[in-house]
Structure 1
Amino acid sequence: MKVLIVYYSHYGHIHTMADAIAEGVREVEGMEPVIRRVPQTLNEDVLEKMGALDYYNKTKDIPIVTHDEMKEASAIVFGTPTRYGNMASQMASFIDTTGGLWAEGALVGKVGSVFTSTGTQHGGQESTILSFHKTLLHHGMVIAGLPYAFAGQSRIDEITGASPYGASTVAGPDGSRMPSENELDGARWQGRYVAQLAKKLGVK
């Protein structure tokens, strides 16, 4: 059974979290993580001006997700940075291509989950995930968040992402802060949880 991890990452924070989600999935026997990206909509000149070209060049060989892969997966975990409390436009553009999947009911009953990153502690982590959940509900997916059983989200001794809605990380205003070990633990917990749910549901 496959857990598809579909992400957009601009500077690498979401990519790092996606790898941790995959680690969690691998902890569940019989579950295989598959990491895919959505298409980049910005040209290389723009990416260079934004300081994101080096990261893009390092990861552009990661395959772009296909609709067939989404049909075949037992669960799909989406990762996107926040843009004004919503998903990034690159992710939204890809989601707009899934109308055929919706018409077929191809994702009905599959487990769906979301993780994100923001520049600041209150930059829209929860609103981004919650607004993304509406898309998953329209597709008929069974939503999995990050329950308080992951105790790391209750920590107050350090700056940290994570909420009951999903794993997250705080990148810092200049993007220099990469995910902390606690944030990565939250992503691993979420990946494991999604895989366990899909396995229990027997989703094909």
Structure 2
Amino acid sequence: MSNINLAVIYYSSTGTNYTLAQWAAEGAREAGAEAKIVKVPELAPSSVVQSNPAWASHLEATKDVPEVALSDIEWADAIIFSVPTRFGNLPAQMKQFLDTTGGLWFQGKTANKVVSAMSSAQNPHGGQEATILSLYTTMYHWGAIVAAPGYTDSSVFASGGNPYGTSVTVDQNNKMIDDVKAGVLHQARRTVEVARWVKQGLGR
């Protein structure tokens, strides 16, 4: 059985997507993968961050989480992204990182990575699906293989029924309204499973 390296790359301002990232790493390890969690750098001005106590507190609490590097993309057989929605699109922090991967893409080092994505917003129709699909557009350019959860497990329905990737609604106190942990664990295990198929098929 091929060993799978899985990177969970996330951006989180107040903690929701960090929690999703931790669950994804847990699910990947349950499926036998080696998993690492890395964050994209914060780009917002300090004055903006400090004006939101929850944002400032989370940034301090996760200061020791490693920041993503291009070498993490090379290392990974599979990648799970987790991001909040920003007006139905990716947060600038994640987009900025993805925009630095052109050199890897040019060398063919993003091809055949197995990828999946998760998202969050403050209302049930706050752009979660559009955000995930926006990220997948970049993945198609990478030549990556998208492993969406679809409706491959009952946990998908229990966590909101988003076939593109787990998405969660949070309230004004940054608490998750939806019970999505089982959906995240399934999505991570499925991503590892598909990555293992691909790696075995490529003879690696």
Q: How high is the TM-score relative to the length of structure 2?
A: 0.91
- Residue matched to 2:37: 35
Q: Is this contact kept in 2: 1:112–1:141, CA < 8 A? A: yes
- Residue matched to 1:194: 191
Whether 1:185 and 2:174 are equivalent positions in the alignment is no
- What percent of counterpart residues are identical? 35
- Tell me the CA shift for residue 175 of structure 1: 4.3
- Tell me the CA shift for residue 45 of structure 1: 2.3
Give the whole-Å Cα distance in 1 for the aligned partners of 2:177 and 2:79: 21
Give the whole-Å Cα distance in 2 for the aligned partners of 1:80 and 1:162: 18
Give the whole-Å Cα distance in 2 for the aligned partners of 1:179 and 1:4: 26
Give the whole-Å Cα distance in 2 for the aligned partners of 1:123 and 1:28: 31
Alignment RMSD, CA only?
1.5
Aligned CA distance change for structure 1 residues 87 and 175 (closer, same or farther; 3 Å):
farther
Give the whole-Å Cα distance in 1 for the aligned partners of 2:128 and 2:151: 16
Instruction: Tell me the SS of whatever aligns to 1:117.
Output: strand
Number of residues paired by the alignment? Answer: 197
Q: Is this contact kept in 1: 2:14–2:174, CA < 8 A? A: no
Give the whole-Å Cα distance in 2 for the aligned partners of 1:55 and 1:179: 19
Whether 1:163 and 2:166 are equivalent positions in the alignment is no
Q: Is this contact kept in 1: 2:16–2:174, CA < 8 A? A: no
Whether 1:65 and 2:62 are equivalent positions in the alignment is no
Give the whole-Å Cα distance in 2 for the aligned partners of 1:179 and 1:22: 21
Q: Is this contact kept in 2: 1:162–1:183, CA < 8 A? A: no
Give the whole-Å Cα distance in 1 for the aligned partners of 2:176 and 2:113: 30
- Residue matched to 1:45: 47
List 4+ stretches of structure 1 deviating above 3 A: none
- Tell me the CA shift for residue 168 of structure 1: 1.2
- Tell me the CA shift for residue 197 of structure 1: 0.9
Q: How high is the TM-score relative to the length of structure 1?
A: 0.91
2:191 alignment partner AA: V
Range that drifts further, 73-82 or 145-154 = 145-154
| Residue segments in structure 2 that go unaligned for 5+ positions in a row | none
Give the whole-Å Cα distance in 2 for the aligned partners of 1:133 and 1:163: 14
Q: Is this contact kept in 2: 1:13–1:179, CA < 8 A? A: no
| Residue segments in structure 1 that go unaligned for 5+ positions in a row | none
Instruction: Tell me the SS of whatever aligns to 2:180.
Output: helix
